[in-house]
Amino acid sequence: MKAKDLDRRFDQGEDITGSLNLGGARQPGLEQRRVNVDFPSWMIDGLDHEAKRLGVTRQSIIKVWIAERLEHRDSAVA
The pLDDT assigned to 36 comes to: 95
pTM score > 0.75 for this model? no
What is the rounded average pLDDT for all residues in the chain? 91
Task: Break the chain into its structural domains and give their ranges.
Answer: 39-78
The pLDDT assigned to 12 comes to: 94
The pLDDT assigned to 13 comes to: 93
| pLDDT at 73 exceeding the cut of 80 | yes
Q: 78: pLDDT confidence band, cut at 50, 70 and 90?
A: low
What whole-number distance in Å separates Cα of residue 66 and Cα of residue 73? Answer: 11
Give per-residue pLDDT as tens, 6-34.
999 999 999 988 888 888 888 888 888 89
In this structure, the dihedral spanned by the alpha carbons of residues 34, 36, 37 and 42, taken in order and rounded to 10 degrees, is 100
